[in-house]
Chains A and B, each alone.
Chain A
Amino acid sequence: MSGPVHAALASDPVLAAHYAEFRSRAEGALDPALVALVRQAVAMVHGIDAAPIDDSALDEGTRAAIAYARRMPFEHTAITDAEAAAMVAHLGEPGFVAFSVVTALADAECRAALVDLPGLAAA
């Protein structure tokens, strides 16, 4: 497990393990390639060093999922019923639940990195 939150919890191995388990189970419920694309897309929105995504190489459903993920950091209240329904159609209800958690967690982790949470917790 990598990431700013897990790194910051180094002094509390039990809490760190619980966090790692939660993130791992959420991400494990989705196609690993989709998880990687979501994390990459969200990181790019935050201006964190991440390679651009070649949308043209993706199928229509995955392109829509990436577009949806890009809205999570700054436009979460503007996501429409139609956009959400498209994700449910693509992923199914259980998949949409996991996707919502993974995308929101990716956004929050980027933000934790931007405030240097590991550095603050290690000082």
Chain B
Amino acid sequence: MSTTPRVSSAIAGEPAHFGSVLAHQPEIAESFFALYGRFWGSDVLAARIKEVARMRNARVTECGFCRNVRFDKAVAEGLGEEVVDDITDGYETSPKLTDTEKAVLKFTDALIHDPELLNGDARAALQRHLSPAQIAELGLGVTLFLALAKALITMGLEPEVMDRTVLPTPAVLEAAE
């Protein structure tokens, strides 16, 4: 896995990072940020649940950038580091994660790693804890988290060193709506 950017920044004066590299394709960038803002801005599924899935994806795909970013909306909803620390193998027995979060993590593992993990019991648990609309939003989120992590890694945009960083949660730009 490379920490040397394989694509240059398209923004003068900025180092290569996901946004500056995506700027090579402004139309893709615009549509992605509109989608991502809409996704995080929706309250169909709580930001804390989305962030739990994103953290699991970050660990399984080995995306260091994703792993060190926290979105402030999820933090405000109580997703502290003591909970994030339990989003690792063995999360099924965590006393800090809710049953809903454990069902979401099993779904996330199934989508990003092994579909066989979503067996009868896991599927039933997911459907017991989330509505169909919430599952749809979760599925979109995990799809994006996985794709973006892999795109970021394969473009060599992994940081050599990065502190944990709380960022504003992506939001819909008013001018875009």
Query: Which residues of A line the B interface, CB within 8 A?
Result: 4-5, 8-12, 14-15, 18-19, 21-22, 24-26, 28-29, 72, 76-77, 79-81, 84-85, 88, 93-94, 96-98, 100-101, 103-105, 107-109, 111-112, 114-115, 117, 120-123
Contacts and interface: CB of A to CB of B under 8 A. Distances in A.
A97 B127 contact: no
Q: Do most interface residues of chain A lie in helix, strand or loop, or is the interface mixed? A: helix
A60 to B, nearest CB: 20
Interface stretch (B71-79, B82-90, B138-146): B138-146
Given A21-B35, A76-B150, A107-B146, A11 B132 contact: yes
Contacts, number: 159
Interface string B9-32: 010000000000110110110111
Q: Which among A28, A29, A100 has the greatest number of chain B C-beta atoms within 10 A?
A: A100
A66 B123 CA distance: 34
B156 A84 contact: yes
B98 interface: no
A112 B39 CA distance: 17
Given A107-B147, A121-B135, A97 B154 contact: no
Contacts of A8: 135-136, 139-140
B149 to A, nearest CB: 8
Interface in B113-170: 115, 118, 123, 126-127, 132-133, 135-137, 139-140, 142-144, 146-148, 150-151, 153-156
